[in-house]
Amino acid sequence: MSGTFLDSTELVLNMGPQHPSTHGVLRVIVKLDGEKVTGTECVIGYLHRGVEKIGENRTYAMFAPYVDRMDYVAAVSNGLGYCLAVEKLLNVEAPPRAQVVRVILTELNRIASHLLWLGTHALDIGAITPLFYCMREREATLNIFEKYCGARLTTHAFRIGGLQYETYEGFEQECLAFCDMFLPKCDEYEELLTGNRIWVQRLRNVGVLNAEDCKAYGVTGPLLRAAGVKWDLRKAQPYSGYDKYDFEIPTCENGDSFDRYIIRMREMRQSVRIIRQAVADIPAGPIMAKVPKVIKPPVGEVYVSIEAPKGELGYYIVSDGSTQPYRVRVRPPSFVNLQSLDKMARGSLVADLVAVIGTIDIVLGEVDR
Amino acid sequence: MRKLLRRILLVDFLEGLRVTFRHQHPKKIVTMQYPAERPKVAERYRGAPRLNINPENGQTLCIACDLCALACPEALIVVGWERNPETKRKDLINFTYDTSRCMFCGLCEDACPVDALELTQDFELASYSREGAIFDRQVLEEGIQPTRYKF
Ligand code: SF4
Ligand code: SF4
């Protein structure tokens, strides 16, 4: 390094855990050369509640509400993954009606999760307005959850073997009304952001992660698709009847933050498409499969993964034949995606680090569990 | 050239601002003026617990079967009962429900065979002390009485 007076010595700085743009309690130790990031290290665990350990001390049905508290922004997806895993262990399948309702709620939740991401990410970048609009639209989905199952955030909407609650009167109409209302709003967000030069300049070529890196790090979800890999578990290994619906997997080329924004915007539109198809055709019938009152799966182990809003969410459950799981291991998308932070942030500016953390879309409840 | 003109005239910002101003209309305000205006929560809302009373004879519906306590993942329900020597049935003595540990998952409500325990639409569960968060039978039967402010 040439020795001019502008040179600075290396500086090690703590970002977080109370930094508002770390989306919770993430602590990043940043190595800085002036304004340039030369290395990062994540310190996690501030929100560790031992969810996996709790699972070993609860019966299968009792553990279901706890999984909602991992990725609390997308609690319905968490619940779906867990229920599917235990159902596979029990070798039962939810009845068709339950499956369709599950798909509707999960897609609504995907929209809610992406909306919260969009609002907070824009806030990090400096666009304050979208947050309020996103929250307003998210409220509509939360109202549907509230009417359906009685809770807004940690919903506990699904049960092992199907559903606990029958859909309420006007459920279909409300979902369709939401779809009709939401698409123009989506255009509105794009009007606010996509063309905005600050937005584009802050995100273009920031936090680039190409397809090889994504695969090496095990990154999934919108990050992977932004790098051009067409991989979505809803298509790759359909669950809960996703193969019946006609939808596309949006992909982009560059794998930078802007592409991830575009991917998520398109994904929300695809979710609306799925909801429309699902609502149009909710079969009649029971909502609960024949599941014994005391759930006692046979000895064995399963791994079931679903496409959560943030990526691949997997549950690995080992049963020793008792009423409680022997081991519950969760593969949280946020945790795995967060590992690519260093790769993305190295060499960028401090301000870009904020953008990169935002673009991964982490929820610390899920990272720390 | 057009691109340059767009940049100089700040067209991209104005487009964004147009959206912002479209939403300034007073009719479009969605903020709720709580507590002056109280939200109406959904019918199935899982809020403060209540022990239902038979409206005909004023007796509790609870049969002290303890199923709710067994279903609760947090084990926060304690059902106190006594065997009635005459009727040979369990009589409910006390019922403790610790809302400070409750996650309002609704499993207890689902487990109750006689619909005695119910999570209601009352959502104002704050209290000034930790003891206030532990509901005994009286509170559960009468329901919480949140302060209603006058405006
Ligand atoms: S709502 Fe859930 S946590 Fe609360 S008492 Fe009932 S079962 Fe227990
Ligand atoms: S399950 Fe219902 S009837 Fe049984 S003890 Fe609980 S509240 Fe009473």
Task: Give chain A's domains with CATH numbers.
Answer: 10-368 (1.10.645.10)
The response to whether residue B79 sits with its C-beta less than 6 Å from ligand 1 reads no
Is it the case that residue A3 has pLDDT exceeding 60? no
- Do A138 and A110 contact (CB within 8 A), yes or no? no
Interface of A with B in 55-94 (CB under 8 A): 58, 61-66, 69
For A280-320, strand residue ranges (E) read: 300-308, 311-319
The token pair that represents A105 in the structure block? 């709620």
Question: Is B12 in Cβ contact with A150 (below 8 Å)?
Answer: no
- Quick one: pLDDT band at residue A19, thresholds 50, 70, 90? confident
A124-138 average pLDDT score: 85
Q: How far is CA B40 from the centre of its chain?
A: 12
How many folded domains does chain B comprise? 1
The protein residue with its alpha carbon nearest to ligand 2, atom 2, reads B112
Q: Is the peptide bond before B26 cis (omega within 30 degrees of 0)?
A: no
pTM of the full structure: 0.85
So what's the pLDDT on residue A7? Answer: 62
C-alpha pair distances (Å), B44 with each of A152, B87, B113, B121? 11, 36, 18, 8
- Among A78-82, A197-201, B73-77, the range scoring the smallest mean pLDDT is A197-201
On chain A, the residues whose CB falls within 8 A of the CB of B103 are: 65, 69, 154
CATH code for the domain in which residue B137 is found: 3.30.70.3270
Sign of the dihedral through C-alpha A88, A89, A91, A95: negative
Q: How big is chain B, counted in residues?
A: 151
Tokens in use for A303?
Answer: 């791994």
In a domain, B108, yes or no: yes
Task: Render pLDDT for A273-297 as a digit per residue (tens, 0 to 9).
Answer: 899 888 888 888 888 888 888 888 8
How many whole angstroms separate alpha carbon A162 and alpha carbon A105? 13
User: What's the gap in Å between A326 CA and the centre of ligand 1?
Assistant: 23
Enumerate the residues of chain A whose CB falls inside 8 A of the CB of residue B29.
none
Amino acid at B133: A
Domain assignment present for B2: no
Determine if ligand 1 sits within 6 Å of the CB of residue B140.
no
Q: Which two tokens stand for residue A259?
A: 């592409």
What is the token pair recorded at A366? 């899920």
Mean pLDDT calculated for residue range A192-210: 82
Chain B: closest CA distance from residue A1 (Å): 38
Rounded to whole angstroms, the Cα distance separating A162 from A92 reads: 10
For ligand 1, say whether the CB of B108 is within 6 Å of any of its atoms: yes
- Our mutation pick for probing the ligand 2 site, out of B51, B62, B70, B72, counting the most ligand atoms within 8 A of Cβ, is B62
Sequence letter at residue A151? A
Residue B13 lies inside a defined structural domain of this protein: no
Answer whether A176's CB lies under 8 Å from A278's CB: no
Evaluate whether residue B83 is within a structural domain. Answer: yes
Q: Residue B82 is part of which domain span?
A: 49-142
CB A46 within 8 A of CB A53: no
Nearest to B16 among A62, A69, A196 (CB): A196
Q: Tokens for A243? A: 């193969």
Cα dihedral: A71, B104, B34, A124 (round 10): -10
Q: Which of A147, A169, A288, A328 to mutate to test the interface with B (most CBs of B within 10 A)?
A: A147
Q: Is A136 on the interface with B (CB under 8 A)?
A: yes
| Residue type present at position A208 | V
**Tens digit of each residue's pLDDT (9 = 90 or more) over A211-266:** 888 888 888 888 888 888 888 888 888 888 888 888 888 888 888 888 889 899 98
A1: confidence class by pLDDT, cuts 50, 70, 90: very low
In a domain, B78, yes or no: yes
* pLDDT computed for residue A316 by the predictor: 92
Task: Please tell me the residue having the least CA distance from ligand 2 atom 1.
Answer: B112
CA of B101 to the centre of ligand 2 (A): 19
Instruction: Summarize pLDDT for B89-124 with one digit per residue, the tens.
Output: 777 778 888 888 888 888 888 888 888 888 888 888
